[in-house]
């Protein structure tokens, strides 16, 4: 966290310039908030796959609403990933992700009932 002195010239009615100093806070790169996508980009793809696989299998094998809740967590994550990467994906990837998301939602509904 650093402070920077900033000088501002203020002009009075008679045309005389007066220097007015005040300190402003400057954010360093370490202080900037980290977005979820930036955090996800640091996770290895193998770990992400294993975690998603474990959550999916647990959701499928756990009974009733508990399994449906785990699958819903997975669906929300997949939906967020699809939403944030939509502009950079080609059409076939978009269609495939939407189909997988729709299938996952159908499984959630069937499991919850």
Tens-digit pLDDT profile for the chain (113 aa)?
444 544 455 555 665 555 555 555 555 556 677 777 778 788 888 998 999 999 999 999 999 899 999 999 999 989 988 898 888 999 999 999 999 999 999 999 999 88
Is pTM beyond 0.75? Reply is no
How far apart, in whole angstroms, are the C-alpha atoms of residue 70 and residue 56? 7
- Per DSSP, the three-state class of 18 is strand
pLDDT score for 5: 47
Q: What is the structure's pLDDT at 46?
A: 93
Burial 31-63 (b: 16+ CB within 10 A, else e): eeeeeeeeeeeeeeeeeeeeeeeeeeeebeeee
Taking CA atoms, 71 is separated from 6, 12, 44, 107, 112, in Å, by 53, 66, 22, 8, 10
pLDDT score recorded for residue 13: 60
> Cα angle at 30 between 25 and 36, to 5 degrees?
115
């Amino acid at each position: 966290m650093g402070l920077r002195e900033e000088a501002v010239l203020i002009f009075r009615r008679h045309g005389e310039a007066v220097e007015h100093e005040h300190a402003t806070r400057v954010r360093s790169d370490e202080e900037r908030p980290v977005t979820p996508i930036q955090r996800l980009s640091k996770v290895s793809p193998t770990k992400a796959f294993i975690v998603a696989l474990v959550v999916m299998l647990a959701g499928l094998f756990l009974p009733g609403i508990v399994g449906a809740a785990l699958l819903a967590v997975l669906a929300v994550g997949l939906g967020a990933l699809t939403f944030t990467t939509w502009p950079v994906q080609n059409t076939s990837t978009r269609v495939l992700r939407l189909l997988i998301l729709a299938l996952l939602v159908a499984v959630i509904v069937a499991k919850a009932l």
